[in-house]
Chain A
Amino acid sequence: MLKINKLHKSYKMGDSSLHVLKGIDLHVDKGEMVAIMGSSGSGKSTLLNIIGILDELDSGEYTLDGIEIKDLTEKKAAQYRNKFLGFVFQSFNLINFKNALENVALPLYYQGLKRKERQKKAMFHLEKVGLADWSKHLPNELSGGQKQRVAIARALAAEPKLLLADEPTGALDSATSHEIMQFLQQLNDEGKTILIVTHEEDISLMCKRIVRLKDGVIMEDKKVKQNRLI
């Protein structure tokens, strides 16, 4: 599903450059649920952004579902993001003037689907996260957990091969966090490949594999016994 070899990434900070990722090798198979752990500054978010084709790598190789991700035009990158990837962010990143249904339908709009079809599909995914009754509500009328579930529904709407979650529980209380994680586990059970960036130990233990990053290198990569919430 996902192959990364000798990935390097540095950022220019004025005159000096900050070497964030120093040779990452990571392979993820279909159906895995991986937690990427690390303290702030470890490079975990940068890694996720590169995997998400939101950022470009400096050197190394990155293959997603058999396609090499390299020197993409903005247009191509947009197409791949739309087709392969679903994003869940810590701060939800819903568009605040669109209601839940419209938010979920947005990636389908960029897929070029007809309006009827978009709404049908979006409704299906909203039902799946249990928010069918809230479809007409604006984000600011929803609780944090509800917002994140809308975001997950949106990430799933385009039926991506890989779900990327950047601190998905970071802005939620522990009860709601468990609820969200439970839902992600359920998705994984259905065969979805999921990558979660987190710095919370208990969240990582709810995944099947933990990759620990420190100072831009992988310190540890181990399979764990999943803490099942279902």
Chain B
Amino acid sequence: MIDLDLFREIFQSLNKNKLRSLLSGFTVAFAIMLFTILFGIANGFQNTFNNEFNGDANNSIFIYSGRTTKAVEGYQTGRKIQFDNQLYKTLKEEFSDDIEFITGRVYKNVTASFGNEKSNYSVRAVNPDHQFIEKSEMKYGRFINPLDLKNNTKNIVIGNLVVEDLFGDIDPIGKYIDLNKIKFKVVGVFVERTEGSDSNEARVIYMPISTAQKIYGNNDYIDQINLTYDPAFSEQEAIIFGNRLVDKIKDVFFVAENDQSAVRARNRARENQEITQFNAILAILVLIIGMGTLVAGVVGISNIMIFIVKERTKEIGIRKALGAQPRSIILLIILESIFITAIAGYIGLLLGGVVLNSFDLEDYWITDPGVSTSLVLAATVTLVIAGTLAGYIPAKRAASIKPIVALRDE
């Protein structure tokens, strides 16, 4: 029943009724274009939002210390809480099942020089795990390793902008630079994922934490502890885990439970929760508006199909008088509807894509707006189904018109 001849019929009818075809196509194309643009912009928003937080592993917890604000068990307020290797060890052992990676951080500002080049940088003295928490990508060489830690080596890993500043085109691996007049050997160069948005991250120098503790203070102090939790944790579990960590540390240092300042944690799970909520609200909004647009398109094509059938009543009557069976009338109209919907829908998608790509929207918090292939497919399928439905009801009615009534129609 569906053969080349039928398509010839449809193509002829579309071709000979150009205005009608164009009008109905335009409705669908316009609806799909709006739909695409809308989804694209929403995706762009999400991309921007996600990018802003992409510098670190998304299951990280950063723990800072401060001064106590509540007196407890004979301790005065204003006592400074100082993390140290003992705490690092305790956390690592006690929460070994829940912690994925963990590192201490010691901060130090240094003046670095190589040859005639000289500049100020911040040093982060860390454990080897740090690489995975900060998502640093190695460009050359290696990151700080356990052997460095054990031997208090004077090996450092530098950011790609440090290389640009100090070395220019010279290969830095194996070279020595002075940090506050002490020589350190460059063993690796890293690049930051959030390159550009935060150039400070690419001007960091990493060294073994044990080395820094020895050189800069001859103590075992740690300024900050960063860790990532078991990625299998749900957001809720992660938040609970974060609280357990903080409670443990407060316990160790005799800090009041309700002291918000002495031990603080920044838990990505909380931020993730906010992002998830933001995305969910955005998704719902987009869904409502998007569906509204689609529904408008479907209603539009339904109206046009009803109009088309009305206009073609006489033709349908002639066809029936000549021996057309109801089935062939229904197929003729439905396939025409599907044909218009599919083609116009595709054009709408393309137009939407063109519109999204032709404007630079970075300034408006929209990054890489676009729609996924699966969404495009889903929208197309929805449209074809809608086209079928939109065509079916009027087609069914047309097919059941008595030929004599149809023929009388002028």
Q: Do A and B bind each other?
A: yes
Interface residues of A (CB under 8 A from B): 49, 52, 54-55, 74-75, 78-79, 81-83, 87, 89, 93-95, 97-98, 102, 106-107, 109-111, 115, 154, 158
Closest 8 CB pairs of A and B: A82-B323, A97-B16, A110-B323, A54-B404, A107-B322, A78-B325, A74-B326, A54-B403
B247 at interface, CB cutoff 8 A: no
- Min Cβ gap B23→A in Å is 16
- Min Cβ gap B20→A in Å is 11
Provide the residues of chain A in CB contact with B324, threshold 8 Å: 78, 110
Which of A82, A93, A102 sits near B314, CB closer than 8 Å? A93
Residue of B nearest to A74 (CB): B326
Structural contact, B323 and A79, CB atoms closer than 8 A: yes
Q: How far is the CA of A94 from the CA of B317 in the complex (A)?
A: 11
Q: Counting chain A CB atoms within 10 Å of each CB, which of B16, B321, B328 scores highest?
A: B321
Instruction: State whether A89 and B407 are in contact (beta carbons under 8 Å apart), knowing that A81-B321, A110-B328, A158-B323 are contacts in the complex.
Output: yes
B120 at interface, CB cutoff 8 A: no
B17 at interface, CB cutoff 8 A: yes
Structural contact, A109 and B5, CB atoms closer than 8 A: yes
Which of B4, B318, B328 sits near A93, CB closer than 8 Å? B318
B320 at interface, CB cutoff 8 A: yes
Provide the residues of chain A in CB contact with B325, threshold 8 Å: 74-75, 78-79, 110
Structural contact, A52 and B321, CB atoms closer than 8 A: yes
Q: How far is the CA of A89 from the CA of B410 in the complex (A)?
A: 13
B12 at interface, CB cutoff 8 A: yes
Which of B4, B315, B317, B402 sits near A55, CB closer than 8 Å? B402
Which of B8, B9, B314, B326 sits near A78, CB closer than 8 Å? B326
Provide the residues of chain B in CB contact with A109, threshold 8 Å: 5, 9
Per-residue CB contact flags for chain B residues 296-337 toward chain A (1 = under 8 Å, else 0) read 000000000000000000110111111111111000000000
Q: How far is the CA of A93 from the CA of B403 in the complex (A)?
A: 12
Structural contact, B13 and A97, CB atoms closer than 8 A: yes
Which of A52, A74, A83, A97 sits near B17, CB closer than 8 Å? A97
Instruction: State whether A97 and B5 are in contact (beta carbons under 8 Å apart), knowing that A55-B402, A78-B325, A89-B407 are contacts in the complex.
Output: no
Structural contact, B5 and A55, CB atoms closer than 8 A: no
Structural contact, A87 and B321, CB atoms closer than 8 A: yes
Q: Could you pull out 23 A-B pairs where Cβ atoms are within 8 angstroms?
A: A54-B404, A55-B402, A55-B404, A74-B325, A74-B326, A74-B399, A78-B324, A79-B325, A81-B321, A81-B323, A82-B323, A89-B407, A93-B314, A93-B321, A97-B12, A106-B319, A110-B319, A110-B322, A110-B328, A115-B4, A115-B5, A158-B322, A158-B323
- Min Cβ gap B218→A in Å is 96
Q: How far is the CA of A87 from the CA of B406 in the complex (A)?
A: 15
Given A95-B319, A97-B13, 6 new contacts (CB under 8 A): A74-B400, A82-B322, A95-B315, A102-B12, A109-B5, A110-B323
Structural contact, A75 and B326, CB atoms closer than 8 A: yes
Provide the residues of chain A in CB contact with B404, threshold 8 Å: 49, 54-55
Residue of A nearest to B320 (CB): A78
Residue of B nearest to A109 (CB): B5
Q: How far is the CA of A93 from the CA of B408 in the complex (A)?
A: 10
Instruction: State whether A154 and B407 are in contact (beta carbons under 8 Å apart), knowing that A97-B12, A97-B16, A98-B12 are contacts in the complex.
Output: no
Structural contact, A93 and B5, CB atoms closer than 8 A: no
Q: How far is the CA of A158 from the CA of B322 in the complex (A)?
A: 9
Instruction: State whether A95 and B321 are in contact (beta carbons under 8 Å apart), knowing that A54-B403, A75-B326, A109-B5 are contacts in the complex.
Output: no
- Min Cβ gap A98→B in Å is 7
- Min Cβ gap A63→B in Å is 20
Structural contact, A106 and B321, CB atoms closer than 8 A: no
- Min Cβ gap B351→A in Å is 29
Per-residue CB contact flags for chain B residues 265-282 toward chain A (1 = under 8 Å, else 0) read 000000000000000000
